[in-house]
């Protein structure tokens, strides 16, 4: 069967016998500095064909602009503009593989926010050429972004600048000819206003289990389990909800443990659930948490699933679980700061209050670096009291040591004093 390939799409037969597809623009256009690059399209014809069609649209747009013709297609940004830069960034591996699905809407909102900033002449920043964004222009755009509809928003403006800095760097590597040769990234060095950094809320163990109990009473055991898992085993909420904690990793190995997968870092931690001590008794480390898990129904391999009909279940959406958490905390009477993120932060805070070493804490939380782990340390009253006790004990120890040094030894001080008087 003969299949007509999209323009500029070629195929090669691999040693494995599979057919791989590639997007390949003739070299004469490459010599004209065409910004649309060649790229592998994979082995799935449908996906490859769709991507080739998109690339051909960009190629035709470039060809039309090169010939001085009007560019058609309102949904396709003009090559070399800020809108085009963000479009390319969203298709790059830096976005598709590094930005969590949970965060992509926020990224897209931020891109639209800066793209819709108007210049003095009334043009959108998104429609302006990349080369027109100078360091002075970037500073002015930042100043505009700091003021929102509801007033000053320094954190939002700071995040947008950081996003622009990253997008400029990623796309410049792929299409260097579309950037100013002398200054490819105007967002590097933007001086941002000093702001008071807010501390993310962290809930207590008592609040977590009060919430879990209330959820179980109101027939929402999955919501109860999600909060407990975030607090006790420090798994990120999006991982819990997406089904990255499974029944196959719970008390199935040679030693009683629960396997926690941290999808962001790729780390897997097997948390021991109990230990047999010398007298033969068994110490259960997470008895309360396991009591909550016992209320879950096994609807599939993931622990956290919602039933859609008899015999069928699927993972919760992140927004759907958020709504249940909000409803439950209101009914139970917990503060608005209670979220699944706050549960995880509460667990991290408890690690710090337990006076664990940095290595011990990171072994449980699976953070790769000291810096990322230290960011969760909260200046709680318990930590301050613990530090004060240690400081006080250190001062008393020094006082006792000084007193011992100055204490007279029998016969020596009197003899010295007598010599001093005779002299």
Residue-range domain boundaries for the chain: 1-76, 77-198, 205-374
Centre a 10 Å sphere on the Cβ of residue 189 and count the other Cβ atoms it contains. Answer: 10
Q: Go through 52-67 and write b for each residue having 16 or more CB atoms within 10 A of its CB, e for each that does not.
A: bebbbebbbbbebeee
Question: Residue for token digits 């509460």?
Answer: 346
**Contact in structure between 125 and 82 (CB atoms under 8 Å):** yes
Centre a 10 Å sphere on the Cβ of residue 99 and count the other Cβ atoms it contains. Answer: 17
**Contact in structure between 35 and 81 (CB atoms under 8 Å):** no
Of 144, 133, 137, the C-alpha closest to 82 is 133
What are the residues whose beta carbons fall under 8 Å from the beta carbon of 248, sequence distance 6 or more? 259, 301
Q: What per-residue confidence (pLDDT) applies to 423?
A: 37
Instruction: Give the dihedral sign, CA 117/119/123/129.
Output: negative
**Contact in structure between 87 and 75 (CB atoms under 8 Å):** no
Please tell me the distance from the alpha carbon of residue 234 to that of residue 265, in angstroms, as a whole number.
13
Q: Which run of H or of E encompasses 95? A: helix 93-96
Strands (E), 255-364: 257-262, 267-272, 274-276, 282-284, 306-309, 312-314
Q: What per-residue confidence (pLDDT) applies to 308?
A: 86
Nearest-5° Cα angle at 282, 280 to 284 = 170
Instruction: Sort residue 43 into left (φ over 0), alpha (ψ -120 to 50) or beta.
Output: alpha
Please tell me the distance from the alpha carbon of residue 231 to that of residue 339, in angstroms, as a whole number.
11
**Contact in structure between 376 and 361 (CB atoms under 8 Å):** no
From first to last of its 423 residues, the chain has per-residue pLDDT tens of 467 888 999 999 998 888 999 999 888 887 887 888 888 998 988 888 888 888 888 888 777 766 655 555 545 678 889 999 999 999 899 998 888 877 888 999 999 999 989 888 888 899 899 999 999 999 999 999 999 888 899 999 999 999 999 999 999 998 898 898 888 899 999 999 888 776 778 899 999 999 999 999 999 999 999 999 999 999 999 999 998 999 999 999 888 999 998 877 778 888 999 988 888 899 999 999 999 999 999 999 999 999 988 878 999 998 899 999 999 999 999 999 999 999 999 988 888 777 777 677 777 776 766 666 666 655 555 656 666 666 667 677 877 877 777 666 555 554 444 444 443
Of 129, 127, 364, the C-alpha closest to 258 is 364
Please tell me the distance from the alpha carbon of residue 423 to that of residue 417, in angstroms, as a whole number.
10
As given in the structure block, the two tokens for residue 166 are: 């990253």
Question: Residue for token digits 């664990």?
Answer: 356
Q: What per-residue confidence (pLDDT) applies to 422?
A: 44
β partners of residue 40: 22
Distances (CA, A) of 191 to 20, 158, 180, 181, 353: 47, 10, 21, 23, 36
Burial of 199 (0-12, 13-18, 19+ CB in 10 A): exposed
Please tell me the distance from the alpha carbon of residue 88 to that of residue 358, in angstroms, as a whole number.
40
Q: Which run of H or of E encompasses 252? A: none
Centre a 10 Å sphere on the Cβ of residue 250 and count the other Cβ atoms it contains. Answer: 16
**Contact in structure between 211 and 329 (CB atoms under 8 Å):** yes
> Residue 14 in 3-state DSSP?
coil
Burial of 119 (0-12, 13-18, 19+ CB in 10 A): middle
Question: Residue for token digits 């068994």?
Answer: 282
Maximal C-alpha separation, the chain: 122
According to CATH, the topology of domain 205-374 is: hpI Integrase; Chain A (1.10.443)
């Amino acid at each position: 069967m003969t299949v007509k390939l999209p323009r500029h799409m070629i195929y090669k037969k691999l040693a494995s016998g599979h057919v791989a597809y590639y997007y390949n623009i003739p070299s004469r256009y490459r010599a004209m500095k065409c910004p649309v690059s060649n790229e592998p399209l994979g082995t799935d014809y449908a996906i490859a064909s769709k991507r080739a069609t998109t690339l051909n649209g960009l190629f035709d747009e470039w060809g039309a602009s090169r010939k001085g013709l009007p560019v058609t297609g309102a949904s396709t940004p003009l090559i070399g503009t800020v809108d085009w830069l963000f479009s390319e960034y969203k298709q790059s591996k830096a976005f598709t593989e590094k930005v969590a699905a949970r965060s992509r809407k926020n990224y897209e909102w931020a891109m639209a926010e800066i793209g819709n900033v108007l210049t003095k002449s009334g043009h959108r920043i998104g429609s302006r050429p990349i080369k027109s964004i100078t360091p002075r222009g970037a500073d002015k755009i930042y100043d505009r972004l700091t003021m929102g509809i509801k007033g000053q928003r320094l954190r939002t403006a700071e995040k947008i600048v950081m996003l622009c800095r990253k997008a400029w760097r990623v796309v410049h590597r792929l299409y260097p000819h579309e950037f100013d040769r002398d200054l490819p990234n105007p967002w590097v060095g933007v001086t941002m206003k000093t702001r008071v950094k807010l501390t993310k809320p962290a809930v207590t163990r008592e609040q977590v289990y009060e919430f879990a109990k209330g959820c179980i009473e109101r027939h929402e055991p999955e919501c109860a389990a999600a909060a407990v898992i975030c607090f006790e085993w420090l798994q990120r909420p999006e991982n819990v909800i997406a089904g990255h904690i499974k029944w196959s990793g719970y008390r199935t190995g040679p030693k009683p443990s629960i396997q926690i997968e941290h999808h962001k870092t790729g780390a897997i931690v097997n948390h021991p659930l109990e230990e047999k001590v010398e007298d033969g008794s068994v110490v259960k480390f997470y008895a309360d948490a396991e009591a909550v898990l016992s209320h879950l129904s096994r609807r599939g391999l993931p622990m956290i699933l919602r039933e859609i009909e008899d015999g069928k279940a699927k993972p919760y959406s992140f927004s759907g679980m958020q709504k249940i958490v909000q409803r439950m905390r209101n009914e139970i009477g917990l503060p608005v700061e209670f979220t699944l993120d706050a549960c995880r932060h509460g667990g991290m805070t408890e690690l710090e209050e337990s006076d664990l070493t940095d290595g011990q804490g990171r072994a449980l939380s699976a953070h790769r670096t000291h810096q990322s782990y230290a960011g969760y340390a909260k200046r709680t009253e318990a930590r301050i009291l613990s530090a004060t006790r240690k400081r006080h004990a250190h001062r008393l120890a020094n006082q006792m040591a000084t007193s011992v040094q100055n204490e007279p030894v029998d016969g020596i001080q009197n003899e010295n004093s007598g010599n001093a008087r005779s002299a």
